[in-house]
C-alpha cells in the first residue's frame, strides 16, 4: 500500500470501532453484506469508471492491529480490555464482489459488496470509501479528458498540487487506466510501471543569461528527448529561438523532440509554431500544451483549430477541480439473512443483496438492478486477484466505445437508463 508506514487498521473513523465494540460485547456475529453506491453524478458528467481495486486488495491483505495500535486505542479509555485482545488477533475474513476495474457505471448502482461477520465488514467502511471515492473520481475524469482530447496524447503533470502523495499516485494510476501516456511523478512512474515524462521549469530559463543559452544547454544533454519551454518571456520569440536551436542540432544529426506552451493564447501560438516549424524544415517538432487545462479547455482548444501533439494536464485533473468529491456511500443491505434498507429522506436505499445487469454489448442500452440472482450475468464479480493494467486499459477502451455518444458528451450529457426492478415500492 502506497506510503503507509505500519498497518492500516487505524485509518478509520472512530465510530467504526465504537460500533464494533458493541457488536463484540453483545455477541452480534451474524453475516452482514454492505454495498457501495454513488448517489449522484457531478455536473456535466454522464458516467463513472470503477477504480481502486488493487489498493483495496492491498488494504485487506495488510489489515491488522499492531501492538502500537492497541496501545493507542487503550489510551483513549473508550475500549474494554477483552475487546482490545480480540482486535490484536483480528483479520478481515470477508468476501468482496465488485465491478471489474474500468467498468463504467451510473448513480444508484451497486459497485462493490463486502460480506462477512458484521464486526469485520463494519470496520472496513471508512478506508474502503477513501480508496474508492477518489480513485473513481480520477478514473472517470481521466476518461473524460481522453474523450475531450480526441486521440491527442495526454501526460499527467499534477503531483505538485495534488492533495497529498497518496492522492497523486491515485491520480497517476487513473490516468494510466484511461490510456494517458506518461506521468511527471517519478515515484508513481516507478511503482506503476508508467513512463516518466517532463520538460523544464521557467526557473531553468531564468537561471541562464539568455533563453537561447538555456535551450542549447538542455538540448546538448537531452538531444532527441529535449522539449523546450518557450513562453517564459515572449512566446513568439521563444518559438523562433527554439527553431534556431533545433536547426543547429539538426545539422549535427539530432532531432529535438519539441516545445511546450504553458500560457498565453494557446491556439494562436500553436498555429504560429506549426507554420514556423514547417517553414524552417522542422515539421518533426512536436507542440505540447499545458497550463491549467481541463476537459473543457482541451475540447475547446482543439475545436478552435489548435495545433497540438500532446497535453500536459496538472492541477485541474489531480484535484478534480470541478468535482472534488462524490456522494459515495457504504450501506448495510442484509444482516443475518434479513434484508435491510434506509428510508431517510433523499438517502433511501433498497433492501437486500443485488445483481447488476447490462443490456447490449457492442452498444450499451440499459442497466437493470434487481435482487441477487446467482444465475444471471451479474456485472459484480468475486474479487479474487488484481488484474494486469493492460487488461484494465482494454476494458476502459471497450466500455467507452460501447457507451452511447450522447452519454459521453463533455457538456450536458444525456442520462443513461437504469431500472430498479423487483424491490418493494421500486
Per-residue pLDDT tens over the stretch 42-86? 999 999 999 999 999 999 999 999 999 999 999 999 999 999 999
In which region does residue 117 sit, left (phi positive, over 0), alpha (psi from -120 to 50) or beta (all else)? Answer: beta
Mean pLDDT of the chain: 96
Name the burial class of residue 213, with classes exposed (0-12), middle (13-18) and buried (19+) by CB atoms within 10 angstroms of its CB: middle
Residue 137: predicted pLDDT: 98
pLDDT range class, residue 123, cuts 50, 70, 90: very high
Residue 219: count of CB within 10 angstroms of its CB:
22
Residue 424: predicted pLDDT: 84
Per-residue cell: 50: 470503477
Which residues lie below 8 Å from residue 408, measured CB to CB, with a gap of 6+?
A: 46, 47, 147, 400
Residue 59: predicted pLDDT: 95
In which region does residue 315 sit, left (phi positive, over 0), alpha (psi from -120 to 50) or beta (all else)? Answer: alpha
pTM of the entire predicted model:
0.96
Name the burial class of residue 32, with classes exposed (0-12), middle (13-18) and buried (19+) by CB atoms within 10 angstroms of its CB: buried
Task: Note the pLDDT tens digit of each residue in 238-279.
Answer: 999 999 999 999 999 999 999 999 999 999 999 999 999 999
- Structural domains of the chain sorted by starting position, each given as residue range(s) with its CATH number in brackets: 14-138+323-420 (3.20.140.10), 152-318 (3.20.20.70)
| Sheet of strand 310-313: strand arrangement | 182-183, 154-156, 310-313, 286-289, 258-261, 227-229
Statement: residue 3 has pLDDT above 80: no
Residue 376: predicted pLDDT: 86
Closest to 292 (Cα-Cα) out of 269, 322, 313, 306: 313
Residue 1: predicted pLDDT: 62
What letter would DSSP give residue 406? Answer: G
Statement: residue 2 has pLDDT above 70: no
> Alpha helices of 150-265 — where are they, by DSSP H?
165-177, 186-192, 202-206, 211-222, 235-251
Please report, rounded to a whole number, the percentage of residues in the chain having pLDDT higher than 70: 99
At which residue does the C-alpha cell 456522494 appear?
A: 327
Please report, rounded to a whole number, the percentage of residues in the chain having pLDDT higher than 90: 96
Mean pLDDT value across residues 368-390: 95
* 3-state SS class at 29: coil
Name the burial class of residue 36, with classes exposed (0-12), middle (13-18) and buried (19+) by CB atoms within 10 angstroms of its CB: buried
Residue 425: predicted pLDDT: 65
Whole-number CA gyration radius for the chain: 25
**Residues constituting the chain:** 426
Statement: residue 7 has pLDDT above 80: yes
Q: H-helix or E-strand containing 330? A: strand 328-335
Amino acid at each position: 500500500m502506497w506510503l503507509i508506514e505500519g498497518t492500516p487498521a487505524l485509518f478509520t473513523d472512530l465510530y467504526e470501532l465504537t460500533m464494533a465494540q458493541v457488536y463484540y460485547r453483545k455477541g452480534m456475529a451474524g453475516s452482514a453484506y454492505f454495498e457501495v453506491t454513488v448517489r449522484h453524478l457531478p455536473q456535466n458528467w454522464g458516467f463513472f469508471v470503477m477504480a481502486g481495486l488493487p489498493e483495496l486488495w492491498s488494504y485487506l491483505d495488510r489489515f491488522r492491529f499492531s501492538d502500537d495500535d492497541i496501545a493507542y486505542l487503550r489510551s483513549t479509555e473508550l475500549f474494554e480490555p477483552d475487546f482490545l485482545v480480540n482486535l490484536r488477533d483480528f483479520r478481515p475474513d470477508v468476501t468482496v464482489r465488485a465491478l471489474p476495474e474500468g467498468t463504467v457505471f451510473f448513480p444508484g448502482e451497486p459497485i462493490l459488496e463486502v460480506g462477512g461477520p458484521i464486526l469485520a465488514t463494519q470496520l472496513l467502511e471508512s478506508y474502503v470509501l477513501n480508496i474508492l471515492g477518489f480513485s473513481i473520481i480520477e478514473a472517470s475524469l481521466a476518461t473524460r479528458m481522453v474523450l475531450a482530447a480526441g486521440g491527442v496524447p495526454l501526460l499527467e503533470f499534477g503531483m505538485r498540487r495534488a492533495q497529498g502523495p497518496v492522492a497523486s499516485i491515485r491520480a497517476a494510476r487513473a490516468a494510466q487506466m484511461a490510456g494517458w501516456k506518461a506521468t511527471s511523478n517519478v515515484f508513481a512512474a516507478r511503482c506503476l510501471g508508467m513512463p516518466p515524462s517532463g520538460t523544464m521549469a521557467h526557473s531553468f530559463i531564468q537561471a541562464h543569461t539568455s533563453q537561447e543559452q538555456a535551450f542549447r544547454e538542455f538540448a546538448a544533454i537531452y538531444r532527441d528527448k529535449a522539449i523546450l519551454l518557450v513562453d517564459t518571456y515572449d512566446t513568439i520569440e521563444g518559438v523562433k529561438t527554439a527553431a534556431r536551436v533545433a536547426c543547429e542540432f539538426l545539422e549535427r544529426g539530432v532531432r529535438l523532440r519539441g516545445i511546450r506552451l504553458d500560457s498565453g493564447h494557446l491556439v494562436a501560438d500553436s498555429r504560429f509554431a506549426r507554420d514556423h516549424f514547417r517553414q524552417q524544415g522542422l515539421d518533426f517538432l512536436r507542440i505540447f500544451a499545458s497550463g491549467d487545462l481541463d476537459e473543457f479547455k482541451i475540447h475547446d482548444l482543439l475545436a478552435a483549430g489548435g495545433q497540438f501533439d500532446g497535453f500536459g494536464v496538472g492541477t485541474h485533473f489531480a484535484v478534480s477541480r470541478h468535482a472534488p468529491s462524490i456522494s459515495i456511500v457504504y450501506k448495510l443491505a442484509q444482516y443475518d439473512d434479513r434484508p435491510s434498507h434506509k428510508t431517510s429522506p433523499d438517502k433511501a436505499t433498497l433492501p437486500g443483496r443485488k445483481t447488476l445487469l447490462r443490456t447490449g454489448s457492442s452498444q450499451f442500452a440499459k442497466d437493470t438492478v434487481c435482487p441477487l440472482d446467482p444465475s444471471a450475468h451479474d456485472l459484480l464479480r468475486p474479487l479474487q486477484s488484481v488484474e494486469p493494467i493492460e487488461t484494465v486499459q482494454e476494458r476502459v477502451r471497450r466500455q467507452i466505445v460501447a457507451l452511447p455518444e450522447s452519454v459521453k458528451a463533455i457538456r450536458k450529457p444525456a442520462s443513461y437508463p437504469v431500472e430498479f426492478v423487483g424491490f418493494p415500492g421500486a
